[in-house]
Amino acid sequence: MAASIPDNIFYFDIENKVTDVGSRLSIAKEVPDELEIRIDNLADNTVRVYLKGNKAAVDRFYERLKTKKLGHAQHHHFSEIKPIDKAGCFGVSTDRFFHKLQCEQLGKFVEVGTAMQTDVASMKTSIDNLTLAINNLPEALAKAFKESK
Protein backbone atom coordinates (compact mmCIF):
# COMPACT_ATOMS: atom_id res chain seq x y z
CA MET A 1 0.00 0.00 0.00
CA ALA A 2 1.37 3.40 -0.99
CA ALA A 3 1.78 6.03 1.66
CA SER A 4 -0.81 8.79 1.43
CA ILE A 5 0.34 12.25 0.49
CA PRO A 6 -0.10 14.56 3.48
CA ASP A 7 -2.39 17.56 3.27
CA ASN A 8 -0.60 20.86 3.22
CA ILE A 9 -1.70 24.47 3.02
CA PHE A 10 -0.81 26.46 -0.07
CA TYR A 11 -1.67 29.97 -1.17
CA PHE A 12 -1.59 32.25 -4.16
CA ASP A 13 -2.77 35.78 -4.88
CA ILE A 14 -4.96 37.06 -7.69
CA GLU A 15 -4.52 40.73 -8.47
CA ASN A 16 -5.93 43.58 -10.55
CA LYS A 17 -9.45 44.65 -9.48
CA VAL A 18 -10.66 41.30 -8.25
CA THR A 19 -12.59 42.58 -5.22
CA ASP A 20 -16.28 43.53 -5.32
CA VAL A 21 -16.68 41.91 -8.74
CA GLY A 22 -17.81 38.40 -7.75
CA SER A 23 -14.42 36.74 -8.05
CA ARG A 24 -14.56 34.93 -4.67
CA LEU A 25 -17.95 33.45 -5.54
CA SER A 26 -16.63 32.32 -8.92
CA ILE A 27 -13.57 30.72 -7.34
CA ALA A 28 -15.65 29.02 -4.65
CA LYS A 29 -17.91 27.46 -7.31
CA GLU A 30 -14.90 25.74 -8.86
CA VAL A 31 -13.25 24.23 -5.79
CA PRO A 32 -13.18 20.42 -5.92
CA ASP A 33 -14.35 18.32 -2.97
CA GLU A 34 -10.85 17.07 -2.19
CA LEU A 35 -9.64 20.57 -1.28
CA GLU A 36 -10.46 22.91 1.57
CA ILE A 37 -10.53 26.59 0.59
CA ARG A 38 -10.39 30.02 2.15
CA ILE A 39 -10.29 33.27 0.19
CA ASP A 40 -9.49 36.60 1.80
CA ASN A 41 -9.62 40.10 0.37
CA LEU A 42 -6.16 41.53 1.05
CA ALA A 43 -6.61 44.94 -0.57
CA ASP A 44 -8.82 46.69 -3.12
CA ASN A 45 -7.09 44.82 -5.91
CA THR A 46 -5.96 41.53 -4.37
CA VAL A 47 -7.48 38.33 -3.04
CA ARG A 48 -5.48 35.52 -1.46
CA VAL A 49 -6.62 31.97 -2.04
CA TYR A 50 -5.61 29.40 0.58
CA LEU A 51 -5.98 25.73 -0.30
CA LYS A 52 -5.57 22.75 1.99
CA GLY A 53 -4.99 19.41 0.33
CA ASN A 54 -2.38 17.41 -1.48
CA LYS A 55 -0.08 19.26 -3.87
CA ALA A 56 -1.32 17.46 -7.01
CA ALA A 57 -4.96 18.44 -6.36
CA VAL A 58 -3.91 22.02 -5.56
CA ASP A 59 -1.92 22.25 -8.82
CA ARG A 60 -4.84 20.87 -10.88
CA PHE A 61 -7.26 23.36 -9.33
CA TYR A 62 -4.82 26.26 -9.79
CA GLU A 63 -4.27 25.49 -13.48
CA ARG A 64 -8.00 25.02 -14.12
CA LEU A 65 -8.87 28.21 -12.24
CA LYS A 66 -6.51 30.25 -14.41
CA THR A 67 -8.70 29.39 -17.43
CA LYS A 68 -11.97 30.48 -15.78
CA LYS A 69 -13.81 33.79 -15.80
CA LEU A 70 -13.73 35.14 -12.26
CA GLY A 71 -16.92 37.15 -11.88
CA HIS A 72 -16.45 40.50 -13.57
CA ALA A 73 -12.69 40.64 -12.94
CA GLN A 74 -10.69 41.60 -15.99
CA HIS A 75 -7.00 41.35 -16.80
CA HIS A 76 -6.23 39.66 -13.51
CA HIS A 77 -3.06 37.71 -12.89
CA PHE A 78 -2.08 34.91 -10.56
CA SER A 79 0.99 34.76 -8.37
CA GLU A 80 2.91 31.50 -7.98
CA ILE A 81 1.59 28.87 -5.58
CA LYS A 82 3.52 28.88 -2.33
CA PRO A 83 3.31 26.53 0.65
CA ILE A 84 2.67 27.72 4.16
CA ASP A 85 5.34 25.85 6.09
CA LYS A 86 4.13 26.54 9.60
CA ALA A 87 0.42 27.13 9.86
CA GLY A 88 0.42 27.56 13.64
CA CYS A 89 -3.11 28.54 14.61
CA PHE A 90 -3.94 29.39 10.99
CA GLY A 91 -6.65 27.18 9.52
CA VAL A 92 -8.42 26.57 6.26
CA SER A 93 -12.04 25.53 6.64
CA THR A 94 -14.33 25.54 3.60
CA ASP A 95 -17.46 25.56 5.78
CA ARG A 96 -16.29 28.60 7.73
CA PHE A 97 -15.23 30.37 4.53
CA PHE A 98 -18.60 29.75 2.86
CA HIS A 99 -20.48 30.92 5.95
CA LYS A 100 -18.40 34.12 6.07
CA LEU A 101 -18.86 34.68 2.32
CA GLN A 102 -22.63 34.18 2.58
CA CYS A 103 -22.81 36.70 5.41
CA GLU A 104 -20.76 39.24 3.45
CA GLN A 105 -22.91 38.81 0.34
CA LEU A 106 -26.14 39.04 2.36
CA GLY A 107 -24.79 42.22 3.95
CA LYS A 108 -24.33 43.70 0.47
CA PHE A 109 -27.97 42.92 -0.37
CA VAL A 110 -29.10 44.59 2.87
CA GLU A 111 -27.05 47.69 2.02
CA VAL A 112 -28.59 47.86 -1.46
CA GLY A 113 -32.09 47.31 -0.05
CA THR A 114 -31.62 50.05 2.53
CA ALA A 115 -30.37 52.47 -0.12
CA MET A 116 -33.34 51.54 -2.32
CA GLN A 117 -35.75 52.42 0.51
CA THR A 118 -34.35 55.95 0.54
CA ASP A 119 -34.57 56.15 -3.26
CA VAL A 120 -38.14 54.83 -3.27
CA ALA A 121 -39.18 57.36 -0.62
CA SER A 122 -37.65 60.15 -2.70
CA MET A 123 -39.37 58.85 -5.84
CA LYS A 124 -42.69 58.65 -4.00
CA THR A 125 -42.38 62.31 -3.00
CA SER A 126 -41.58 63.24 -6.62
CA ILE A 127 -44.54 61.19 -7.90
CA ASP A 128 -46.86 62.76 -5.32
CA ASN A 129 -45.74 66.25 -6.39
CA LEU A 130 -46.18 65.35 -10.06
CA THR A 131 -49.65 63.88 -9.39
CA LEU A 132 -50.69 67.05 -7.57
CA ALA A 133 -49.44 69.20 -10.46
CA ILE A 134 -51.31 67.03 -13.01
CA ASN A 135 -54.50 67.12 -10.93
CA ASN A 136 -54.29 70.93 -10.73
CA LEU A 137 -53.45 71.32 -14.43
CA PRO A 138 -57.02 71.55 -15.81
CA GLU A 139 -57.94 74.35 -13.37
CA ALA A 140 -54.65 76.16 -14.02
CA LEU A 141 -55.17 75.91 -17.80
CA ALA A 142 -58.76 77.12 -17.55
CA LYS A 143 -57.69 80.06 -15.38
CA ALA A 144 -54.83 80.94 -17.73
CA PHE A 145 -57.10 80.65 -20.76
CA LYS A 146 -59.76 82.86 -19.09
CA GLU A 147 -57.15 85.48 -18.13
CA SER A 148 -55.68 85.59 -21.63
CA LYS A 149 -59.02 86.69 -23.21
Domain ranges in the chain?
Answer: 8-92
CA 109 to CA 130: how far, in whole Å? 30
- The answer to whether the predicted template modeling score (pTM) of the entire model surpasses 0.85 is no
The identity of residue 63, as a single letter, is: E
* Model pLDDT, residue 82: 92
Q: Please identify, in words, the CATH class of the domain defined by 8-92.
A: alpha beta
User: Which residue stretches of the chain are H helix?
Assistant: 23-30, 55-65, 94-148
pLDDT tens digit sequence for 90-110: 678 777 777 777 777 777 777
